[in-house]
Amino acid sequence: MLTPTELVALRLSLQVATIAVACSLPLAIFVAWLLARFDFPGKTMVDAVVHLPLVLPPVVIGYFLLVLFGTKGPLGGWLYETFGIRLIFSRSGAALAAAVMSFPLMVRAIRLALEAVDRGLEAAARTLGATRLDVFANVTLPLMLPGIVSGCIVAFAAALGDFGATITFVGNIEGETQTLSLAIYSLTQSPNGDAAALRLVLISLTLALAALFVSEWLARRVRRFIGRA
Amino acid sequence: MSPSDERIQVRARKRLGDFLFTCDIDLPASGLIALFGASGAGKSTLINLVAGLTRPDEGRIAVGSRVFFDGTADVPIEQRELGFVFQDARLFPHLTARQNLMFGLKRAGRRSRTLRAKPDAVIDLLDLASVLDRRPHTLSGGERQRIAIGRALLAQPRLLLMDEPLASLDGPRKAEVLAYIERLRDEFEVPILYVSHSVEEVLRLARTLVVLKSGVAVAAGPIDDVLQEPAVARLFPAIEAASLLHCQIRAHDERYGLTALEVDDGVTLRVPRLELAPGTSIRVRVPARDVALSLSRPADVSTVNRLPGTVTALEILDATHVDVRVRIGGRVPLLARVTREATERLGLTVGLPVWCLIKSVALDRATLMLGQKPPATLSCVPASSPPAANDAQAESPR
């Protein structure tokens, strides 16, 4: 049904998006918690930085990543020399670009869910002998679950679809960094690539619809789980 | 240290915007202690200070031997070993009723082995067995509040805090939960701080009363004493100013269907026959309005109870009324509410000998609560309800 090339691009896309979401989730929860619950100097700044990927052209984000995480960049150089990790032109780099691009969407969804959590329930839990950490793990987090789930799905979809930051940072290497979007772009650039591009477009469409349905289904299950149904 | 020796001490100042809360109370930590006052009087502030949900600007808060807050200590909420029942039950929606109940127990179990409140006993007391597997959103308001009470109780608290636990329930649910709180008060040894602005709840449940007004604790102590204070009595319009007299059943007069009560050496009251054995101790209320004063021994009046006494104090209430305190016999205090006009006409002053004519005597609610539990209508005697049912009137119609 799918050609080997298509399969490679599809698998790569799913892999990159999954890694991006999984790795940024803990950080997103932490940042959402910071922004929702605390007032600290520089909060506006943190908020703005988190939202930059939403307002900057993706190619600019890709450029920043290149500067920071290139093998000569301050972070990339350290990673390369200490651990031998090279992000540039690699699959991990693609995941990093996707994570950065989808991060604001994830933080927003989680922050909204966190702000909707009834703090009275947290106070009640503490009067019942739960420490702050205990309350967060056993009351706050479960109640935020709908937001976490929808945040992850939106971020997953965004990660699947990123183009600009990815191509700028990790290039367009088949089997390594060529995700579905990049593959579609490549095909549209080559003569007689239209039919093949259409097939990939249909795959993308299916993926997007599937994500939406899964999201709906999960949200309903989670709502029932936390007793809001 | 037995629980009854422990004390709840709250000396605190807290500014909340324009509202300054100050309070200095020291109460025995036993039974149900009601914190009463109008909304905005600082009841919830007080209970939140004890729980640690609000931090005082300065002061000292201690329960028993544990100091929760002073200049140096500020014990975290979860280490205070309290139970808190909120007005809105605050059940965890993602947990079943059973998991909610066990939430505090699990954490208290890590602290100590011995449980003062055991799950089976609590489930039994609050009749929760049938709802254990349900989620909070499928429960009625009364069931939710019962789970919340059980949850707090199972956290093995040294002190149970209840912040208007009935306020968000409708009439029938209120009565339902009230009965359970009463059982809990009687069957578990845990002292309860109970915030309420309902006179009925306070009268029915409390043994100790703290009255708050504009952020200041204006009176605190055993409920019967506190209710005697005129300033407090005015806050309880449903309760008439009255004297509480401790007495013993002395004898029954079969011929006239009267029972003689001995209040003090030589002071006897006669009331319609009470089915109680001679020697039984009871308390009676004598409403201040039902005491008339006379300068001479009244001979040609129908009043059965005529007692000599001495005026000990006068307090002008308003343009019309004066409360006259009289001592009858050796030491029994009696309150008479008369008009200002009568006070001047009779020339009432401190030290003047007078005769008191007592028109009615009512059994005190605490007396009714002894022994067999009375039906709900009797255990709560706000005088606004028709008194005929439970007043043992010594005279024909008032």
Q: What is the ipTM of this complex?
A: 0.84
The three-state secondary structure class of B328 is strand
Print burial letters for A3-23: b (CB count within 10 Å at least 16), e (below 16).
eeebebbbebbbebbbbbbee
B158 vs A: CB within 8 A: no
Q: Is A192 exposed, middle or buried (0-12, 13-18, 19+ CB in 10 A)?
A: exposed
Residues of B in contact with A229 (CB under 8 A): 137
Q: Whole-angstrom Cα distance, residue B251 to residue A49?
A: 89
Helix or strand holding residue B223 (H, E): helix B223-228
Question: Are A97 and A58 spatial neighbours (Cβ–Cβ below 8 Å)?
Answer: no
A160 vs B: CB within 8 A: no
A66 C-beta neighbours (distance < 10 Å), count: 20
Q: Which residues contact A72 (CB under 8 A, 6 or more apart)?
A: none
Q: Which pLDDT value is given to residue B240?
A: 65
Q: Which pLDDT value is given to residue A30?
A: 95
B91 C-beta neighbours (distance < 10 Å), count: 27
Mutate to test the interface with A, among B49, B87, B94 (most CBs of A within 10 A): B94
Residues of B in contact with A145 (CB under 8 A): 94
Q: Whole-angstrom Cα distance, residue B331 to residue B318?
A: 28
Question: Are B81 and B255 spatial neighbours (Cβ–Cβ below 8 Å)?
Answer: no
Q: Do A130 and B103 touch (CB under 8 A)?
A: yes
Token pair of B234, please? Answer: 């005015």
The alpha-carbon gap from A132 to the nearest alpha carbon of chain B, in Å, equals 9
Q: Which residues contact A60 (CB under 8 A, 6 or more apart)?
A: none
Q: Which residues contact B18 (CB under 8 A, 6 or more apart)?
A: none
Which of B80, B84, B94 is the closest to A124 by Cβ?
A: B84
Which residues in chain B come in under a pLDDT of 50?
A: 1-3, 367-398
Q: Whole-angstrom Cα distance, residue A7 to residue A129?
A: 53
B 2-61 near A (Cβ less than 8 A): 51, 53
Mutate to test the interface with A, among B47, B78, B96 (most CBs of A within 10 A): B78
A116 vs B: CB within 8 A: no
Q: Which pLDDT value is given to residue B156?
A: 92
Task: Domains for chain B: give ranges and CATH numbers.
Answer: 3-239 (3.40.50.300), 242-380 (2.40.50.100)
Which of A120, A143, A225 is the closest to B90 by Cβ?
A: A120
Return the higher-pLDDT residue of B208 and A125: A125
Q: Which pLDDT value is given to residue B226?
A: 82
| A42-57 pLDDT per residue, tens | 999 999 999 999 999 9
Q: Which pLDDT value is given to residue B199?
A: 77
Least confident of A52-66, A112-126, B246-260: B246-260
A143 vs B: CB within 8 A: yes
Q: Whole-angstrom Cα distance, residue B342 to residue A128?
A: 59
Phi then psi for residue B391, to 5 deg, are -85, 135
Q: Is pTM, for the whole model, over 0.80?
A: no
Question: Are B305 and B289 spatial neighbours (Cβ–Cβ below 8 Å)?
Answer: no
Q: Which pLDDT value is given to residue B4?
A: 52
Q: Which pLDDT value is given to residue B263?
A: 86
| B245-259 pLDDT per residue, tens | 878 889 888 898 888
Q: Which pLDDT value is given to residue B118?
A: 87
Residue of A nearest to B104 (CA): A128
Which of B86, B103, B135 is the closest to A227 by Cβ?
A: B135
Token pair of B158, please? Answer: 């040294």
Q: Whole-angstrom Cα distance, residue A23 to residue A95?
A: 9
Question: Are B54 and B42 spatial neighbours (Cβ–Cβ below 8 Å)?
Answer: no
A128 vs B: CB within 8 A: yes
DSSP B190: -
The three-state secondary structure class of B139 is coil
Q: Which pLDDT value is given to residue A86?
A: 87
Q: Do A227 and B94 touch (CB under 8 A)?
A: yes
Which of B86, B94, B135 is the closest to A142 by Cβ?
A: B94
Q: Which residues contact B311 (CB under 8 A, 6 or more apart)?
A: B324, B325, B326, B348, B349, B350, B351, B352, B353, B354
Q: Which pLDDT value is given to residue B370?
A: 40
Q: Do B107 and A225 touch (CB under 8 A)?
A: no
Question: Are A155 and A102 spatial neighbours (Cβ–Cβ below 8 Å)?
Answer: yes
DSSP B275: -
A221 C-beta neighbours (distance < 10 Å), count: 13
B137 vs A: CB within 8 A: yes
The three-state secondary structure class of A108 is helix
Q: Which pLDDT value is given to residue B389?
A: 35
Helix or strand holding residue B260 (H, E): strand B258-264
A131 vs B: CB within 8 A: yes
The alpha-carbon gap from B117 to the nearest alpha carbon of chain A, in Å, equals 14
A137 vs B: CB within 8 A: no
A218 pLDDT higher than 50: yes
The alpha-carbon gap from B218 to the nearest alpha carbon of chain A, in Å, equals 28
